[in-house]
Amino acid sequence: MSGPDRTLVAVAPDTLPEMHAALVRAVEEAGATVVPIEEASALVFADPMAAAAFPDLIERGRHVEWIQLPYAGVETFAHHLDHQHVWTCGKGAYAPPVAEWIITALLAGFREIPRYVRASSWSARDGRNLLGARLLIIGGGGVTEALLELLEPWGCHTTVVRRSDRPVAGASRTISAEGLNDAVGDVDAVIVAVALTEETTGIVDASLLARMRPDAWLINVGRGKHVVTDDLVAALTESTIAGAVLDVTDPEPLPARHALWSLDNCVITPHVGNTAEMGRPLIAERVRTNVGHWIADEPLVGLVDVDLGY
Amino acid sequence: MSGPDRTLVAVAPDTLPEMHAALVRAVEEAGATVVPIEEASALVFADPMAAAAFPDLIERGRHVEWIQLPYAGVETFAHHLDHQHVWTCGKGAYAPPVAEWIITALLAGFREIPRYVRASSWSARDGRNLLGARLLIIGGGGVTEALLELLEPWGCHTTVVRRSDRPVAGASRTISAEGLNDAVGDVDAVIVAVALTEETTGIVDASLLARMRPDAWLINVGRGKHVVTDDLVAALTESTIAGAVLDVTDPEPLPARHALWSLDNCVITPHVGNTAEMGRPLIAERVRTNVGHWIADEPLVGLVDVDLGY
């Protein structure tokens, strides 16, 4: 083995004590020793909110070759990415809770839970089934894989839209982005579960919304900027679609008194697809796996493509 | 084959035109001929609300040997059951949508959807997972089987409570009713999905509620009378449990201004586990199957035990 001692790993910063402790434990369970950044071969970055702390840390980490980020999407870190290091992030690790949130959103919409929550008397007996529904999923990554796995017994017809049309395991069919406009009019729900890039920014705009069925739901668990908010407000106000469930918004957090809050056919959850509490054991598990692989010089999980930015 | 001509089947009453038409089609697709009740070997009862129409019909149906009821639970028909006929009902047929409703209820509760529906600003990021949760299910029938099937990829720990402790496929463990009191304190949610009998009436009372964890949810998709409503109102008011999601109530329909409507930790849906629209194709499929079996003199699906009353 050439290069620095791979059993020496830094976990920093320590601004989130619970997360820091969980990641230190994970590093040690994988057989490595936690050391100051100056001695480390690798850095496990331990605070998803502290990207600003990175330049100083990496300046001191002269021997660091691999950096593990705690994010699923790395856009807040994008300007730090470089070709001098190997970068991994949490992509895929957080997928199961996020997939669970998507199913929560679909069921809440289809089964009219918002209306029943607001009701104060026995009301019209409505609702439709997720069982056997037709779903269009934008994005073919870890969240989509986890979603398809959870939905396996539900008999849904699933179309995954991704950059290439390389089939996604468990999907009824996979199409490339060019097919999106044609496919979107045929489904009970459109689910946005893709990384935010230049190409996917604003992918849900007035034109796409206009192609959706009037009984179709929009579910966004990607990033707020995937959806052109004003176009969505217009579609919901005019009921050209059934409704939207949003775990991410643009702007985010969504200001009080924003039009979306007042729409009965819109449910907003405050970016809880994966909460800190749900995510901590999952990123710790990812770190444990990757530190083990790092020591053994095996391929790391969740590699970031520095040029693609995810 | 002895007895009357089994290819002659009546479908009555015809008070629900869409349902009547769907069941006539099902009978014909199974290879039988639809005839007046006077000539029929079997009766497919075609209106779940019209039990009162039964005595006159059966008085005229001198050759009827088998009666297919459109219900899942047959209590509204209990006083008509007799040993002169073979009785089948829709039990199991409606199970998948009801199981879907249970998962909707669990996810709405765990993921705090009611709070987010009512919110008009970005709020605390909370929620917990159904993934890996511990569930106690009262009842080992078709709904429970369908629920366990849908939950298979979710990694839940499931305890099924039933009359006997004969194992239910897909459950982590099956216990008999005597074990209920001990098991109930150990779970994230208690799900009532059992037939209403003398033994299960009021099974969720103050004593059982007091044994539940303060963060546990109660889900009732059985019948309203499984739960002692006043005891539940007390538990919810004092927050000794996390909340309840009820698809059935006692009384039902729940009157406007009932205390349950005003509780933020209680969601009431108006008996929509399976709606008429969801159920019509499912009971038609059951009728198609059973008429086929009837003609071929094979065992019928969904046999009612006249003595047990379900």
pLDDT digits 0-9 by tens, A35-58: 999 999 999 999 988 999 999 999
What is the per-residue pLDDT across B218-272, written as a single tens digit (0 to 9) for each? 999 999 999 999 999 999 999 999 999 999 999 999 999 999 999 999 999 999 9
Contacts for A117-122 with beta carbons within 8 Å, 24 or more apart? A117/B113, A117/B114, A117/B117, A117/B118, A117/B267, A118/A264, A118/B117, A118/B118, A119/B261, A119/B268, A120/B256, A120/B261, A120/B262, A121/B254, A121/B255, A121/B256, A121/B261, A122/B253, A122/B254, A122/B256, A122/B268, A122/B270
Cα separation, B283 vs B69, whole angstroms:
9
| Judgement on whether residues B287 and B181 belong to the same structural domain of the protein | no
Structure tokens at A91: 């992509």
Establish if B3 belongs to a structural domain.
no
| Judgement on whether residues B154 and B258 belong to the same structural domain of the protein | yes
Tell me the mean pLDDT in the region B152-173. 95
Establish if B109 belongs to a structural domain.
yes
| Judgement on whether residues A230 and A163 belong to the same structural domain of the protein | yes
| Judgement on whether residues B44 and B110 belong to the same structural domain of the protein | no
| Judgement on whether residues B86 and B168 belong to the same structural domain of the protein | no
Q: Which residues of B touch A267 (CB under 8 A)?
A: 113, 116-117
Establish if B147 belongs to a structural domain.
yes
- Beta bridge partner(s), residue A42: A9, A66
Establish if A172 belongs to a structural domain.
yes
| Judgement on whether residues A165 and A62 belong to the same structural domain of the protein | no
The residue whose two tokens read 């050759």 is B63
Tell me the shortest Cα–Cα distance from A194 to chain B, in angstroms. 22
Residue ranges making up the domain that contains B167: 95-268
Q: Which residues of B touch A96 (CB under 8 A)?
A: 129, 131
| Judgement on whether residues A154 and A256 belong to the same structural domain of the protein | yes
Establish if A309 belongs to a structural domain.
no
8 Å CB contact of B126 and A152: no
Provide the ipTM: 0.87
| Judgement on whether residues B78 and B168 belong to the same structural domain of the protein | no
Assess B101–A contact: CB distance below 8 Å, yes or no: yes
Tell me the mean pLDDT in the region B44-68. 94
Establish if B308 belongs to a structural domain.
no
Q: Which residues of B touch A103 (CB under 8 A)?
A: 103, 107
| Judgement on whether residues B155 and B180 belong to the same structural domain of the protein | yes
Q: Which residues of B touch A269 (CB under 8 A)?
A: 111, 113, 116, 127
8 Å CB contact of B149 and A149: no
Catalytic positions of A, written as ranges: 223, 252, 271
Establish if A174 belongs to a structural domain.
yes
Query: Number of folded domains in chain A?
Result: 2
Tell me the shortest Cα–Cα distance from A232 to chain B, in angstroms. 18
| Judgement on whether residues B60 and B103 belong to the same structural domain of the protein | no
Structure tokens at A121: 């008397």
| Judgement on whether residues A121 and A256 belong to the same structural domain of the protein | yes
Q: Looking at the partner chain, which of A96, A153, A262 has a beta carbon nearest the beta carbon of B150?
A: A153
Residues 6+ apart with CB under 8 A from A220: A191, A192, A204, A226, A227, A244, A245, A246, A247, A248
pLDDT of B1 strictly over 80: no
8 Å CB contact of B111 and A254: no
The amino acid sitting at A138 is: I
Q: What is the pTM of this model?
A: 0.87
8 Å CB contact of A107 and B111: no
What is the per-residue pLDDT across B118-131, written as a single tens digit (0 to 9) for each? 999 999 999 999 99
Tell me the shortest Cα–Cα distance from B224 to chain A, in angstroms. 14
Establish if A145 belongs to a structural domain.
yes
8 Å CB contact of A256 and B122: yes
Q: Look up the CATH number of the domain holding residue A222.
A: 3.40.50.720
| Judgement on whether residues A193 and A250 belong to the same structural domain of the protein | yes
Chain A CA closest to residue B148: A153
Question: What letter would DSSP give residue B235?
Answer: H
The amino acid sitting at B55 is: P
